[in-house]
């Protein structure tokens, strides 16, 4: 399969990319690693007439210790997130989850920012950064603004990014020794999760987010509220799907997804509580 | 548009459409048909080549994205007719049946050993999760990779 025809421009900087995308409007798309966008274009599920290739904006590939958080450039590849000593030390949940994205070949090309901007509820990275309370830095023609992960996901493959805005950085709070777990339930290696869970817990505080349990990644706030009120792991996990509106597909019915979410959240919290 | 890609050490330039995929560039323009197209959806790994030294699925990369880069395909492994140790290991351990997945499997396996020179059996299986063999000859593929790692 070959994508429908499009024009191609390569940007050397974020500013140039934003300027280019502004000229072409809604019909243009940023191309980073391309491992979400190119498959969609082959299937004609996306048909941009202009691609602005930001894959060579190398100054957006970094992982920096910024005090209370780690700053990750949007063009940092999954493989670099997975193998980062800084993230392994301070945000081990994210480094671990990055190792579940696709396979080695995909992780060599796909980027953290691409995964987030693509806003696929079945993606591992959107839910993981949501659970961690990340903030996304986006840049437009008039400068930068910050969007909390919990305010970013608006619908299936829809985000709060304006057409002329580019995700440039992900700020992830340090976990400060919190217990954590990433659970991914699928039938075959490298498939998307039928349901996945990213969770951390530190004394009374916790963060739990669900993969593929609705049209967006889902913050399981009811689970964290229950834990904060002293509920047991089993009782808190019973609330796993309270914030979700899962959909049925070839892999799972709504009932099965709801069941899986409760089981996986329980397992995740047990692991995070050790 | 014109793209320049060094393939197996030979610098080449070809005119392509922006939508030309790297795998088509390799097969149709560079005339190297050892790299196979399997699923065409970045699932099966048959099209795996090395792009700038790392295993990548050439069906999901635009030739334009690889412009200025270096690609190694299965044809680029042998030196003066002498097979690469991974190719030899596949031959000696019956690591292929129909052979369709083999070019991608060998390229992914070499990429794996570049990153993890002495993998365990489990690490080989995990490391090759992006490559499917429809003959299901996985045991001997793993055996081949472990044999190559121990040489």
For residue B21, give the CATH number of its domain. Answer: 3.10.20.30
Query: In total, how many domains does chain A have?
Result: 3
Q: Please, is B79 exposed, middle or buried when counting C-beta atoms within 10 Å of its C-beta (0-12, 13-18, 19+)?
A: exposed
Query: In total, how many domains does chain B have?
Result: 2
Q: Choose from A103, A187, A189 for mutation: most chain B CBs within 10 A.
A: A103
Q: Are residues A162 and A90 in the same domain?
A: yes
What pTM did the predictor assign?
0.96
Q: Are residues A149 and A128 in the same domain?
A: yes
Q: Which residues of B touch A1 (CB under 8 A)?
A: 40-41
Which residues of chain B fall short of a pLDDT of 50? none
Contacts of residue B122, defined as CB under 8 A and 6 or more positions apart, other chains included, come to: none
Q: Final residue of a domain: which of A173, A193, A211?
A: A173
Q: How far apart are CA A59 and CA A235, in angstroms?
A: 46
> Nearest Cβ partner of B1 from A3, A8, A105?
A8
| Residue A87 near residue A78, CB atoms below 8 Å | no
pLDDT of residue A75: 98
Expressed as residue numbers, the domain containing A102 is 62-173
Q: Final residue of a domain: which of B43, B76, B109?
A: B76
Residue A1 lies in a domain: no
Residue A34 lies in a domain: yes
Q: What is the pairing mode between strands A63-65 and A69-73?
A: antiparallel
pLDDT of residue B69: 98
Q: Final residue of a domain: which of A123, A145, A173?
A: A173
Which residues of chain A fall short of a pLDDT of 50? none
Expressed as residue numbers, the domain containing B39 is 2-76
For residue A46, give the CATH number of its domain. Answer: 3.30.43.10
Handedness of CA A189, B105, A111, A19 (dihedral sign): negative
Q: Are residues B93 and B68 in the same domain?
A: no
| Residue A198 near residue A211, CB atoms below 8 Å | yes
pLDDT of residue A139: 98
What is the pLDDT of chain A when averaged over all its residues?
Answer: 96
Q: Are residues B72 and B91 in the same domain?
A: no
Q: Final residue of a domain: which of B49, B76, B103?
A: B76
Q: Please, is A226 exposed, middle or buried when counting C-beta atoms within 10 Å of its C-beta (0-12, 13-18, 19+)?
A: buried
pLDDT of residue A203: 86
Q: Are residues B21 and B68 in the same domain?
A: yes
Q: Choose from B17, B29, B52, B57 for mutation: most chain A CBs within 10 A.
A: B57
Angle at A192 between CA A187 and CA A197, to 5 degrees: 90
Q: Are residues A105 and A152 in the same domain?
A: yes
Q: Which residues of A touch B56 (CB under 8 A)?
A: 105, 108-109
Q: Which residues of A touch B24 (CB under 8 A)?
A: 2
**What distance, in Å, lies between the first and last C-alpha atoms of chain B?**
44
Q: Are residues A113 and A21 in the same domain?
A: no
How many Cβ pairs closer than 8 A exist between chain A and B?
79
Q: Are residues B55 and B94 in the same domain?
A: no
0.90 surpassed by complex ipTM: yes
Please give the sequence-ordered ranges of beta strands (E in DSSP) within chain B, or none if there are none.
2-7, 10-15, 48-51, 54-57, 70-72
Per-residue pLDDT tens over the stretch A152-189: 999 999 999 999 999 999 999 999 999 999 999 998 87
Q: Are residues B47 and B92 in the same domain?
A: no
Q: Are residues A115 and A136 in the same domain?
A: yes
Q: Are residues A102 and A124 in the same domain?
A: yes
Q: How far apart are CA A264 and CA A242, in angstroms?
A: 14
- Indicate the angle between helix axes B102-115 and B138-149, nearest 10 degrees: 40
> Nearest Cβ partner of B108 from A3, A35, A105?
A105
Q: Are residues A34 and A87 in the same domain?
A: no
Interchain pair A104, B111: CB under 8 A: yes
């Amino acid at each position: 399969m070959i994508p429908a025809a499009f024009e191609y421009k390569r940007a050397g900087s974020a500013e140039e990319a934003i300027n280019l995308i502004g000229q072409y409007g809604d019909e243009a798309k940023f191309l980073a690693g391309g491992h979400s966008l190119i498959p969609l274009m082959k299937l004609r599920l996306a048909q941009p007439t202009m691609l602005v290739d930001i894959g060579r904006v190398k100054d957006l590939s970094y992982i920096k210790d910024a005090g209370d958080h780690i700053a990750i450039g949007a063009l940092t590849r999954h493989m670099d997130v997975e193998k980062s000593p800084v993230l392994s030390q301070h945000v081990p949940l994210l480094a671990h989850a990055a190792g579940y994205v696709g396979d080695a070949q995909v992780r060599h090309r796909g980027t953290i920012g691409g995964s987030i901007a693509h806003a696929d509820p079945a993606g591992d990275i959107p839910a993981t950064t949501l659970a961690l309370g990340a903030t996304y830095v986006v840049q437009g023609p008039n400068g930068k603004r910050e969007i909390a992960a919990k305010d970013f996901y608006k619908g299936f493959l829809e985000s709060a990014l304006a057409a002329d805005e580019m995700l440039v950085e992900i700020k992830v709070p340090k976990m400060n020794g919190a217990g954590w777990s990433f659970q991914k339930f699928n039938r075959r290696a490298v498939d998307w999760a039928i349901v996945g869970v990213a969770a951390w817990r530190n004394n009374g505080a916790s963060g739990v987010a669900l993969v593929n349990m609705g049209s967006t990644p889902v913050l399981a706030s009811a689970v964290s509220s229950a834990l904060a009120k002293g509920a047991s792991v089993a009782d808190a996990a019973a609330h796993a799907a309270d914030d979700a509106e899962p959909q049925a597909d070839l892999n799972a019915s709504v009932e099965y997804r709801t069941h899986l979410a409760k089981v996986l959240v329980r397992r995740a919290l047990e692991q995070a509580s050790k | 548009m014109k793209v320049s890609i060094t393939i197996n050490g030979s610098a080449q330039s070809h005119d392509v459409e922006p939508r030309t995929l790297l795998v088509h560039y390799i097969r149709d323009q560079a005339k190297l048909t050892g790299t196979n197209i399997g699923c065409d959806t970045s699932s099966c790994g048959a099209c795996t080549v090395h792009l700038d030294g790392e295993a990548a699925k050439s069906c999901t990369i635009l030739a334009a994205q690889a412009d200025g880069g270096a690609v190694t395909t299965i044809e680029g492994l042998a030196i003066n007719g002498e097979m690469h140790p991974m190719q030899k290991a596949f031959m000696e351990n019956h690591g292929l049946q129909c052979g369709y997945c083999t070019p991608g499997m060998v390229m992914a396996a070499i990429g794996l050993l570049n990153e993890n020179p002495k993998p365990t059996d489990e690490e080989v299986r995990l490391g090759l999760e992006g490559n499917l063999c429809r003959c299901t000859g996985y045991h001997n593929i793993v055996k081949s990779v472990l044999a190559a790692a121990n040489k």
